[in-house]
Structure 1
Amino acid sequence: MARNHWTILGELDPELNDKIASWRTHLVNDNDKLERKYRELVNVAMACILKQEPVILAHAKLALENGATKAEVLGTVEQVLTMGGFPSFRCAMLTLDELLHE
């Protein structure tokens, strides 16, 4: 299995990794403008547009862990059709097939 990109950056440039980690922590944990489940659903949508399968799956799982329903994850993916079109939608549906059927 490939190593996590943050682990690699931490080895190669610990100073930059620490700065990015602080910024990520703020956006993920300290941002009270949106509930965590909605932030994760937004992340799912953005990852769908970029067709990033591992990111789609990771943030869909985080959305579910933070109170989103499978219907909300599916609704987010369906909304992607408006901006990302069928290629992004297809990528997301194939990526989330197993998760949404559990």
Structure 2
Amino acid sequence: MGRCAAEDPIAEAILRTAARHVAEAAEAVCPRLESSEVALTGGLFRMGAPLLAPVREELAARLPGVRVTEAAGDPLDGALCVAAALAADELRLPRDPALLSVV
């Protein structure tokens, strides 16, 4: 779809809608501080500009002053980071069993 977006208005509209939803989700959880960051993570962002450009536009409109950054790693890196924080009792995520369970 990303390859088609420049020439296909339907593909472009789908990506713009997706970008809006990504920005809405970030807006819902991001504190409105000048030092806040939003990291763009996940395989869909490998699509590049067809998705990244509208996501950045939406984030700039919804969260002015918030810095957009690339992911520091892949999903496995994130899982290892969460596991290390759990082991050290330093996890700063909400302890919600629907979101994270330790077995």
Normalising by the residue count of structure 1, what TM-score does the alignment of the two structures yield? 0.33
Q: Which has the higher contact order (CA 8 A, sep 6+)?
A: 2
Q: Relative to total residues, which structure has the larger strand share, 1 or 2?
A: 2
- When Rg is computed on C-alpha atoms for both structures, the one with the higher figure is 2
Relative to its length, the structure with more helix (as a share) is: 1
